[in-house]
Structure 1
Amino acid sequence: MNTAGDNDVSGLDLIPFRGVRYVPERVGSLAAVTSPPYDVVVRPDGLLHLESADPHNIVRLILPQATTPAARNQQAADTLHTWLGEGILAPDAEPSLYVYEQQDSDMLQRGVIGALRLSEAADGIVLPHEGVMAHVVEDRAALMKATSANLEPLLLTYRSETDGEHEPGGAMAVVERTALREPLLSTTTEDGFHHRLWAVTDPAEIAEIQSDLAHHQALIADGHHRWATNLRLRAEHASPSAWD
């Protein structure tokens, strides 16, 4: 595993974590509890559609509805606590990196989900290319503090070592091998996209991913406000902490 300290990290430092996932037997369907990112949900019609799709749709956490911001955030925190207590959501038994796949008739994309360490040099490792609005960062930070949860990931992209003429190595090799295994879950959402998720728990495979990514920067493909929010929360809390 990559054990370099903050001052030694020159690239992405991706850390296994215990993902909190829906328990399939406790919801109507996995497709019915999904949602697009908070900032592309069409309101109010799209929001109502998602809320009515299943009483446990994730939109109730990422876009809670109440009369004031404080009430909205408290509602999300209470909902998350209730769902965990009732077994609607449950943490995985051991820390993992996760391989996630999205596919439709025209496109296939796979990637790795992990907890990305926010080092002092993070701004030189993850590369934003858009500005952010302060009130949106304030809103997302308040929600994350109220729930003590990171409810939505960023989407990052990086240039791999392979040139297309050779077999992929490093993180890409682990992703491709993992995609041949039985997934933890799979579903097809109403937009026609097929989704599959796997957990990578083998220490050797985790080390292979970490060693590869430690040499890479990444560009934000989606989630500039989420990135700015994470940096803000890290700065507000003494390190080391979960906000790192």
Structure 2
Amino acid sequence: MEKIRIPSEARMIVSTSSKGDQSKWFVGNKWIKENTLGYENMAEYVASLILSCSTLPKTSFISYTPCLIEKVDGTVSEGCYSSDFRGMLQEVTLERLFEANFESTDDILNHNGYSTSEKFNAVMEKIHKFTGLDVSQEIAQMLAFDAFILNEDRHTNNILFLFNPETEVWQLAPIFDHGLSLLSDTKDYPLDKPLSILKRQVKGKPFNSSFTKQLDLYKGEPFIDRSMLLEKLDEIPYDVGRAKDVVLSQLRDVRLKKIIIG
């Protein structure tokens, strides 16, 4: 596994997820993230591997590579890295997009009278109003992918938009940050418990805690190529541990058949 040394001048950034803080560094053109709860690096790697076996354009998702991280004090830990996709564009999370327009996603997401689809449609309408973008298909597909990888961290700061201040054009950022997927949190999902039990414990975000209900938002064609994925899983050069077993289990789940080719 590649080792990346963190330079003494590199500034550590604390990234906050729904489960706590994670250390990361921006070195050169790479974002480097350290494991905190379990095997987040392998979850990131396998999730991006799955997307590479899909019909999604390569530019629509971020690839992650597992690595060892050597810190300034000489300690070594596991993590992963990805390339910076922002360039000169400004990043605006879904939450900040609402805040910039003096609104809050909570007004929609916490509305007890709305169904899952009504919450989704209301947020998509706001996005179109604020940016001019119709990204309902893309975000529904992302949520379907989240159902496949059991991503429990798709909060409103993990849906990102990019803004070009020169042209004033908005775009949806590539799909990123899958560290809390594939049961990577070994504290909440112990390695000695059966997958069938653990899978029932995972909750989705942001429109419903049920992955099945969020999956139902996707009305498009199947996009994950089973044959290609199985082939790639057999060629993995790393020990991804339980992450591979979770993927194989998901491929057998009849509820996910609608997004699987073959």
TM over 0.5: no
| TM-score, normalization by structure 1 | 0.26
Bigger relative contact order, structure 1 or 2 (CA pairs below 8 A, ≥6 apart): 1
TM-score (norm 2): 0.25
